[in-house]
Amino acid sequence: MRETITINGGGLTGLSLAIALRKHGVAVTLHEAGTYPRHRVCGEFISGVSHETLETLGIADAFIDAKHHCSVAWFSGNDHLRDNLLPEPALAVSRHLLDDRLQKSATALGVNLQTKSRRQMTPKAPGEVWTAGRKPAKGKWIGLKAHVRGINPKAQLEMHSGPLGYLGVTPVEGGWFNVCGLFRMRRDIDARHEELLPAYLSKNGNTELARRISTAEWREGSFTAVAGFALGLQATTPGMLSLGDSHAIIPPFTGNGMTMAFQSAETALPHLVAYASGEMTWDESCAQIAKHLRTRFEKRLKSAKLIHPLLFHTLARPLLKHAPLKPILSLIR
Ligand SMILES: Cc1cc2nc3c(=O)[nH]c(=O)nc-3n(C[C@H](O)[C@H](O)[C@H](O)COP(=O)(O)OP(=O)(O)OC[C@H]3O[C@@H](n4cnc5c(N)ncnc54)[C@H](O)[C@@H]3O)c2cc1C
């Protein structure tokens, strides 16, 4: 291969792309601002990813013991609205485990992984890819996550909604349950750190879940929070190839963000290999990737954007009880 690829950001997009490129013989340097393993704000519920995508990227082994979840219980406030089964099982594995597995696999394949290496978001030279996740933006959202144990679940995925936002509860490994939500930020909530989760849930009318979480065992170091981001297409920087969340963030209720991270790596792969082997210029490769990302993600991003506000709407939320979930899910995958 003639050219090397430099990837900025070692989350799911960056790690899976690095692994796949190495498997095609491309030299890869990957810069990651943090270290591994670490907890991340994420519902850890992977919906809509195919085995074929994981195989193409060479990462299927990382899911060998992932949980497969089908049953969902929906709540509005404290009201249990309905139970249903997903058309296809979703995978569940913590980011603490998954990202660490992928970074080990990348390193074993010869990726030059530089941790604690925070890169500047400036236009990049040919061969540089930006996969550093959400781009900073004025946003009204706060994402909160923790792992807890002993909360007596009602289904493999509990989805709780209210006027401020929504939160999922799902088992991951080791008997832990991921508790992760997205809320409209409220300045009048007088809580800090771990207390934020039950405080937001209470304000959201999910007082019964707030009580269950408050009395549960919390996994040390698992509480994480994120704010200062916007959903949807992210700001573009001329000359920068952005993939995964850096390209577009689908609302988390879809459980499809991690799938999009893998699919964006899969979409970019052949064009980056063509660039590295000298068959395409960098500009040609980027143009092809942009075109294919648009085709692959446009429908689901638009559909999710339309559906998202309904989850917060006082009149619309009870309608979840009767909503045809299968056709809705097919729009956002
Ligand atoms: C509240 C919430 C709940 C969610 N729940 C789900 C869910 O249940 N299912 C689902 O599929 N998706 C969910 N998502 C979305 C999912 O987490 C993301 O889509 C996914 O993490 C995107 O992967 P990524 O690799 O593009 O970005 P990230 O996972 O964010 O990785 C980016 C990496 O870049 C590093 N980095 C950042 N800045 C720099 C820099 N300057 N230089 C170098 N490195 C840098 C970071 O440390 C990080 O490791 C949720 C998101 C939120 C906010």
pLDDT in tens, 4-32: 999 999 999 999 999 999 999 999 999 99
Q: Which of 158-162, 166-170, 326-330 has the lowest mean pLDDT?
A: 326-330
Does the structure show a pLDDT above 90 at 323? no
Does the structure show a pLDDT above 80 at 124? no
128 lines ligand 1 (CB under 6 A): no
Dig out the tokens for 64 from the structure. Answer: 């060998």
Mean pLDDT computed over 247-257: 97
Does the structure show a pLDDT above 90 at 319? no
Q: Rounded to two decimals, what is the model's pTM?
A: 0.97
Per-residue pLDDT at 172: 97
Q: Output the CA torsion 306→79→169→244 (10° steps).
A: 0
Q: Closest Cα to atom 22, ligand 1: which residue?
A: 245
Nearest Cα neighbor of 103 from 59, 50, 55 is 59
pLDDT in tens, 163-222: 999 999 999 999 999 999 999 999 999 999 999 999 999 999 999 999 999 999 999 999
Residue 98 amino acid letter = L
Q: How far is the CA of 296 from the centre of ligand 1 (A)?
A: 19
Per-residue pLDDT at 174: 94
Domain boundaries, the chain: 5-65+90-136+230-315
Q: How many residues does the chain have?
A: 333
Does the structure show a pLDDT above 80 at 76? yes
Q: How far is the CA of 79 from the centre of ligand 1 (A)?
A: 31
Q: How far is the CA of 18 from the centre of ligand 1 (A)?
A: 16
pLDDT in tens, 219-238: 999 999 999 999 999 998 88
Per-residue pLDDT at 121: 85
Q: Which ligand 1 atom is at minimum distance from the Cα of 12?
A: 25
Residue 306 amino acid letter = L
Give the integer Cα–Cα distance in Å for 132 and 130.
Answer: 6
Q: How far is the CA of 82 from the centre of ligand 1 (A)?
A: 30
pLDDT in tens, 276-291: 999 999 999 999 999 9
Q: How confident is the model at residue 331 (pLDDT cuts 50, 70, 90)?
A: confident
User: Do the beta carbons of residue 213 and residue 198 sit within 8 Å?
Assistant: yes
30 lines ligand 1 (CB under 6 A): no
CATH code, 5-65+90-136+230-315 = 3.50.50.60
